[in-house]
Structure 1
C-alpha cells in the first residue's frame, strides 16, 4: 500500500447542495445562473412599507425537510433548517454513506454571519410583551451560529471536527477553507462545509437599511443587483445555503465518487482598516488571493476564471477590481474572466461563499461560466471582463472564488478542474 503523507493529501469536492430563492434543485439553479435569471423579488413574508429597501432573494415557499421530523425542525431557526436541508442534498449528491465511515474521521464546518436573527427577534418580542417566563427554552440552541453545524453532525452521526465560523460575508469561504485544512492535515477524511443564512426578516432588513447598504431599486427588483455597473446603489439581501462535501482525494477515488473539482488553495487576510468599509486600495483582498494561489501552487497566469465577491456596492466593487489588478496586472486584457453571481442571487451574507463555490465547481465541470447580469454601463474604475449579461463557455481549468466580510475579513479559494 502506498503511504500517503500529509503533504500528499488533496481535497476533492464530491457533493453539492443548495437552498435558494429559486429552489433547491442543483441543476435547475445552475441552469438559471447560466441563463442569467434573477433570484430577486419583492419581499412577501412581512410588510415592508416602512423600509427604503423592499426586495430580496427571499425563500417564501419553504416547507421544511421531508426526511426530518417536523418536531425537530421546530427546534431549529430557518438558517439551521437551510443548512441541514442543503447538507442532505450535498450528501445525497456525493453518494457517501456515513454508516460505513468512521464517524471520528468525518466532520462539519458550516458558517453563518448572523445565525438565528429571526429567533432572536421573536424571543425578544416575547420577553417585552409577556415577560421572561415566556421565553422559549429552545431560544439559545436556535439562535446560536453553530446550530447549523451542530444539527448536521447530529443528523448524520458525525463525531469528528465540528466548527462554525462567523466572519460576516466571508463565513462560508472560511468554513470551506478550514474544512479543507482539516483534511489536508490528516484530522479528517470527509467534511461537510459551507454556509447558511436566513436574514430576510424584519430585523435583518432593518439592520442593513440602517447602514444604507441596500439597493433601493424597489420598482425593478430583478435589475437591482448590478455589480460593477455605474448605476449600482447597494447590495440586495438574500437567504439560503450552499453546502459542499469535501473528501481526501484517494478516499473519494476508492469509493468511486464523482469528483466535481479539487479545492487546491486557501488564502485569508485582514484589511485592518475599517469595520464595514473595504480597504479602497484592495491590498488585503489581494493578499488573500496571492496566498490562495501560493497554497495551491498556482501561477496567476494559470487562472481562467474569477468568481468575484461582487456585491454591487459603490466601494466594494472598485476595491475588488483594484485587488484583482494587483495580482493579475493593470492591463485588463491580461486579467481572467470575472463574474459576480450575486447579480442574480443577491447577497446571502455568510452563505454566499458556499453558493459561489458551488457555481465555481459547476463551471469547472461544465466549461461554462455564469454572467454578471444588469451590467449595462460599467463603472469607470471597473474595466475588467465581467462576462456581461450572457454566460460564456471558456472551459476553465483553474478558478478562484473571493469572499470578503465586514470586519475586514478576506478569503480566497482556488479550485482545479478534476
Structure 2
C-alpha cells in the first residue's frame, strides 16, 4: 500500500519522524484518523497488532504494515492522535519501542496524567482525614499459543521481557522462566516433547525483574502442582531472595493469571474460583497433618539452639524425612550464605500465616509442622543460613514432660 504524499522511510540518514505526520493536522472522524499516511485499513491493522498481545513493538507493527511507504510515519500519526502510546524509556523510538493502546484525549476533559504503573491518581483535593491507599502496579498479560507457534514467540515484542512460561503436552506440563521469555520459549530445549500449547505470563507494564520472574516461576509451579490436573516434568525451582511485600504482589499477579486460565478452560478447571485465587497454603508435601497440642510426633525428637535463647524442635522420621515442629523459633533475617529457597519460603509462609512474629519481636514462630528432606535443610531454614547441619540437632529425652510444641 503506497501513498502519493508519503515521503518514504528508505533513506538511512532520515530521522524516524521525517514524514509529513510531524506537521500535518490530525483529526478523528467517525472513529477514524484523517491523515494521508493512515487509511482506515492501516488504523485497523496497527491497533489489531497491538491488541493481539496487549502491546507490540514498533518492529512488529511495521511487519503488519508490510508494503506501506512510511510505516513509522503511520505509527507516529496514531501516537499524535492519542490512539496509541510509545514507551520511550531510552529517549528514542526504534524497532524495539513498545506500543500500547490509549484512549483518545478530548482537550476539554483535561484528564490527570497516569501515575507510574498505569494507576490513575485521584483527581482533586482530598479531605485531611482521607488517605489514598497504594495498590500494586503489576498487571498480568497472559498469552496462549499453539505449540506450532513456538518459534514465532521469540519475535513477539510483548514477550521481550522477564516472565514465566508453561508448556503443555497432553497430561504433562513444564513450568519455566526467562529474562526474555519469548526467546527462552523459542530457543529452549526443555525436556518435554510434542508441546500442544504454550502459556506465557508477564507483567503488562514490563515491571518484573529477573528475580521477580524466578519467584513467579516457583509460585506458578506450586499452583500447578497443587491442582493435580497434569504431571509436572520438572522439579520445584529455587525461586529467588524476596521480601514478604514483593512476594505478596507477585502472588497476586499469579492469582489473576491463574484465574484467567481457569476461566478460559486451560488450567485449574477443577478448582473453585476461590481456590484458584487463593492458591495452596504451602507446596505439596510440605504441610504435615494437624497434631493435637499434647501429642508427641512419631520419631526421634531433636532440638537446635541458636541465637540468644532461641530453640527449634524437629522430628527425625527418616534420614530424608524431617518434620520441623510448630512452636519452633525461626531467625528473622537470612544471612548472605542463605540459598534462594530459604528466603522464598520465609516470604511465602509469612504470607500464608505459617510464620508469625513472636511476642517479643525477636524471631518468627512456626505455626504448623513443616516437612524437610534433610536435617541440614531444616536447620538452614531455621537459622537463615548455612549451619552445622545434622550435627546441630541434638536429641532430647521424650520421656520427660512433653515440651510445649
Q: Which has the larger helix fraction?
A: 1
TM-score by length of 2: 0.22
TM-score by length of 1: 0.22
